[in-house]
Amino acid sequence: MEFIKLIISSYDSYNYNGASNIEMNILGNFLSSDVRCQITPYRQWALNDRDIGIGGNLTDLYKEDGNVFLADILSEEEVPTELKMTIQQFVQLLDDWETKVCKKKPEEVLIKHQDGEFIIEIKD
């Protein structure tokens, strides 16, 4: 099982608190620093056919063959690590982030990637 753990800050944003690998760290940075609670632009981008790429503060995203790829724009790797998921998984993850994290503001967020699924668990 892969995971990223985030904890709430005193400013109601989320900070990194551990990850199982680089891919999950990229996901955590994307959600906590790029998306925050501005779901709509990323959701609309994922569901339209004309825009291939979009970027954030820390993450570069592109679509290819029904998949979304996320990469750290500050990576020092010769070939930057990418996290790959289907567009459907990406949209579901954004929806779950909005309902479980943005609306509830839990103390702790754990995102697991297991058996091809991304699952958000929260703890108050």
Say what the pTM is: 0.93
Q: Which pLDDT belongs to residue 10?
A: 85
- Inter-residue contact 10 to 117 (CB < 8 Å): no
| Three-state secondary structure call for residue 41 | helix
Q: Which pLDDT belongs to residue 51?
A: 84
Cα dihedral sign for 95, 44, 41, 71? positive
Nearest Cα to 47, choosing from 95, 117, 97? 95
Q: What is the pLDDT along the chain (124 residues), one digit of tens a residue?
A: 999 999 999 888 999 899 999 999 999 999 999 999 999 999 999 999 888 899 888 999 999 999 999 999 999 999 999 999 999 999 999 999 999 999 999 999 999 999 989 999 999 8
Range of the domain at 42: 2-123
Q: Which pLDDT belongs to residue 97?
A: 98
Q: Which pLDDT belongs to residue 49?
A: 85
Number of domains in the chain: 1
